[in-house]
Structure 1
Amino acid sequence: MQSSLFRTALVLALMSMVGPFAIDMFLPALPAIAGDLRVAEPVAQNTITFYFLAFGVSQLVYGPVSDMVGRKAPIFAGLAIFAAGSVWAGLAGSIEALVAARFVQGIGGAAVMVIPRAIIRDMYTGHEATRLMSLIMLVISVSPMLAPLAGSGVIALVGWRGVFVFMALASVACIAMAATLQPETLPADRRVPVNLRALWAGARTLMRSGPFLGLTLIGAFGMASFFVFISFAPFVYVETFGLTPTQFSLFFAINAGGFFGASQLAGPLGQRFTARRVMLWGTLGFAAFTVALFVVGSLGGATLAAITAFLFMGNGFMGLVIPTSMVMALEEHGEIAGLASSLGGTLQMLVGGLAVVAAGPFFDGTALPMLAAIALCATASVALALVTLRAAPATA
């Protein structure tokens, strides 16, 4: 059982890394893309925003389809679409073409975000599911730590277009891995014929479920804070603090490391203290550090060291929240796990994308608007947790 758990975690995590790599490896190239394509920074950020939006909305399709035809076929389709979008992005001659290509990438990358979560629900529940989710996040943690550095190296050697060539090759490798190493986890007798009536009925059930919506949005605002950081940090770190793309990659890895390191504690802490308590502690800690950072920044103390230290701690608490909220949200909806995973993922990505869009007009090249948006996301997350978890049983 132990070796099977680790093997499953490794395979699912490597596939799930496609989406994060499409973001993290791309980040050091943003200033160069803005300069090369002769556009303003907010326009260049659309390459991230539209990726998030496509990534989120497309999950509504992959989950129900995977409930109907099984988990593997949609994975193959999504990875193929992602590869096509990567090739297009590498050839794009204008910002409009690049944004469109990134949108296609997001459509494809959504498959390997939503379906692995449904696979986990096919195989495990409770603490074992949380543990598997945490193991997957441990492997995925390689992405924010190494992907920006890899992107910086590729950019230095062949320019920013080479990043997309790498992404295309990685998606082809994932297709081969899914074909040979990942078994089908949804047998034919458990598949659900999907039609508009069934889809609407399932979505209505989920949207009427207070716990599902609350838990999903708790994680959504946590992820939104990270999306804001991803979108604005390249410009803040490179232009405000004068870092090189490689130096930015190192600091980005430190901030992301707090999240993924702490995510490994979510399962053991949930088993010892209950998931409900872990969620409360996580959201409270997340809000405390990010709001404190905003206050420090408002007083003129938004130095590189302060931002790195406070975000490392705040993201650490968020690392307790994300895997726990995902598992708790799906716990009571095993019969429509694909749809629930899709809808949850879509809501999270849409909240994240909208947070970036809402913060965009306030960005002035300094760190303070970014810190304000992160603090607001954290405050929303803890407020939702206090309301949603109040009625949860103490053993949950």
Structure 2
Amino acid sequence: MFVVTGRIWSTGGGVSTAAVTAPAKTRRTPGTLRYALILGGLSAFAPLSIDMYLPALPRMADDLHSSAPTLQLTLTAFIIGLALGQLIAGPLSDSLGRRRPLLAGLVLYAVASVLCAVSPTAELLIAGRSVQALGAAAGMVIARACVRDLFAGTAMTKFFSMLMLVSGLAPILAPVIGGQVLRLTSWRGVFVVLAVFGAVLLVAAALVMPETLPADRRRPARIGSTLRGYGVLLRDRSFVGYALSAGLMFAGLFAYISASSFVLQDVYGLSPQEYSLVFGANGLGIVIAGQVNGRIVGRVRERTLLTVGLSASAAGGAGVLAAALAGLPLGVLLAPLLVMVSSIGLVMPNASSLALAEHPHNAGAASALLGVMQFAVGGLATPLVSIGGEASAVPMGVVMAASAVVALVVFGTLTRQRTR
């Protein structure tokens, strides 16, 4: 990254219009793996915090003398807290800078994880998960905002693709780590591991991460200005199009995560070990697609890659639905399922980069709204899948196909091609 006539030019070819007034000494390019590991770890908070403890829910119900529906509220509380936390942390980081809200969020996450580990009742556990989600939200939303502060154009997309290598492994490793922890200790040990994870990221961020938002680019923390900022974002057709496309892709992914265990084991007869292999292969597909995206972006435009990813997702979703409706063998179902899930690795880096590109001066709020749309729209998939029951792959196929096709339509309708 170097300075030419007052502008910061990214080595990836993009121009950071946000950096026109920022002194060069305030901007550092995180070209090392350690920055990607920290920001990727922050992006992995949600899958780790959700997937690691799910196998322990039956034990938790017995230990806390509670019902399964009550324990499932711990997941609902976390998702709601994650959405609300992003709406708060994003604008706050636009006002105070990135470091202070980030470090405060990591402290909150680590402390809340310890409180979850020692909770004597389900009600206290639900409260602890809500607080834990607020800390996780700060890490996730500020990680995206930091990338927007530091990069522009294809360089930003390349770095988002690099983050996929770290955050994409989280859904693969979380169930494995959770299972191994449960072999050694109780469900409380899962939250101890999460507390340690948060503490390690806290130390790493405090020692390594610089402040990426100079003081002269910060915005006053006022409710009115925050709401106006969200209004500007919601009136931007392109931003809404990219964010909704990403959210609909999350809906397809959530449908897969929530239903695939029942579909592949109960309907198609896979053992838990075989299911883990399929789940891991699909997760690896996300990582590989993300790394391919990072290699070719710059030679191929982000919008083109996003179009390819959304089209592949729609084709894969349609294939899953067709295989389910026709009752075709498992191998026929798994091929389009791999295509559908792997396309996340193409869609998310490009959708995130394009959504944030035009909003450098309120990157925190834009990152927050992007995350909220992903989890709000994506969270609708779980109840939709459950409506159709667990004895067929058709409900999963319907939700996956519909979300992918609608994502492609939304992208084509709301977004517009801009000349870089």
Q: Give your verdict on TM over 0.5.
A: yes
Alignment partner of 1:321 is 2:342: no
Change (3 A) 1:288 1:312: same
Please, which of 183, 187, 200 is the counterpart of residue 227 of structure 2? Answer: 200
| SS at 2:47 equivalent | helix
Do the aligned residues in 1 keep the contact of 2:285 with 2:342 (CA within 8 Å)?
A: yes
Select between 215-224 and 8-17 the one with higher mean Cα deviation: 8-17
Do the aligned residues in 2 keep the contact of 1:266 with 1:319 (CA within 8 Å)?
A: yes
CA distance in 1, matches of 2:326, 2:70: 30
CA distance in 2, matches of 1:324, 1:243: 34
Select between 64-73 and 306-315 the one with higher mean Cα deviation: 306-315
| SS at 2:142 equivalent | helix
Could you tell me how far 1:137 is from its partner in structure 2?
1.2
Post-superposition Cα deviations, 1:188-234, rounded to whole Å, max 9, x if no partner, equal 22211121221122111111100000110001111122122223334
- What residue is the counterpart of 1:177 in the other structure? 204
- What residue is the counterpart of 2:23 in the other structure? none
CA distance in 1, matches of 2:275, 2:65: 22
Change (3 A) 1:338 1:160: same
Change (3 A) 1:215 1:294: same
- Which residue identity does 2:401 align to in structure 1? A
Could you tell me how far 1:274 is from its partner in structure 2?
1.5
Do the aligned residues in 2 keep the contact of 1:294 with 1:375 (CA within 8 Å)?
A: yes
- What residue is the counterpart of 1:233 in the other structure? 260
Alignment partner of 1:361 is 2:387: yes
Alignment partner of 1:386 is 2:412: yes
- What residue is the counterpart of 2:7 in the other structure? none
| SS at 1:170 equivalent | helix
Do the aligned residues in 1 keep the contact of 2:169 with 2:283 (CA within 8 Å)?
A: no
Change (3 A) 1:374 1:11: same
- What residue is the counterpart of 1:147 in the other structure? 174
Select between 255-264 and 169-178 the one with higher mean Cα deviation: 255-264
5 Å-filtered alignment, 1:128-143, equals: 128-143=155-170
Could you tell me how far 1:4 is from its partner in structure 2?
3.6
- What residue is the counterpart of 1:164 in the other structure? 191
CA distance in 1, matches of 2:400, 2:99: 36
- Which residue identity does 1:348 align to in structure 2? Q
Select between 292-301 and 60-69 the one with higher mean Cα deviation: 292-301
Q: Which runs of 5+ in 1 are unaligned?
A: none
CA distance in 1, matches of 2:44, 2:159: 15
CA distance in 2, matches of 1:183, 1:258: 32
Could you tell me how far 1:130 is from its partner in structure 2?
0.4
Alignment partner of 1:311 is 2:337: yes
CA distance in 2, matches of 1:332, 1:12: 21
Do the aligned residues in 2 keep the contact of 1:362 with 1:369 (CA within 8 Å)?
A: yes
- What residue is the counterpart of 1:104 in the other structure? 131
| SS at 1:272 equivalent | coil
- For the pair shown, the structure with the greater C-alpha radius of gyration is 2
Alignment partner of 1:256 is 2:283: yes
CA distance in 1, matches of 2:118, 2:269: 29
Do the aligned residues in 1 keep the contact of 2:323 with 2:333 (CA within 8 Å)?
A: no
Change (3 A) 1:91 1:152: same
Could you tell me how far 1:9 is from its partner in structure 2?
1.6
Q: Which runs of 5+ in 2 are unaligned?
A: 2-10, 12-28
Do the aligned residues in 1 keep the contact of 2:254 with 2:379 (CA within 8 Å)?
A: yes
- Which residue identity does 2:165 align to in structure 1? L
Alignment partner of 1:5 is 2:60: no
Change (3 A) 1:99 1:189: same
- What residue is the counterpart of 1:74 in the other structure? 101
Change (3 A) 1:241 1:376: same
Aligned positions, number: 393
Could you tell me how far 1:285 is from its partner in structure 2?
0.8
Higher helix content, 1 or 2 = 1
Alignment partner of 1:289 is 2:289: no
TM-score, L = length of structure 2: 0.85
Post-superposition Cα deviations, 1:100-133, rounded to whole Å, max 9, x if no partner, equal 3333222211111110111111111000000111
CA distance in 2, matches of 1:242, 1:267: 37
- Which residue identity does 2:403 align to in structure 1? C
TM-score, L = length of structure 1: 0.90
**Identity across the alignment (%):** 36
- What residue is the counterpart of 1:344 in the other structure? 370
Do the aligned residues in 2 keep the contact of 1:89 with 1:98 (CA within 8 Å)?
A: yes
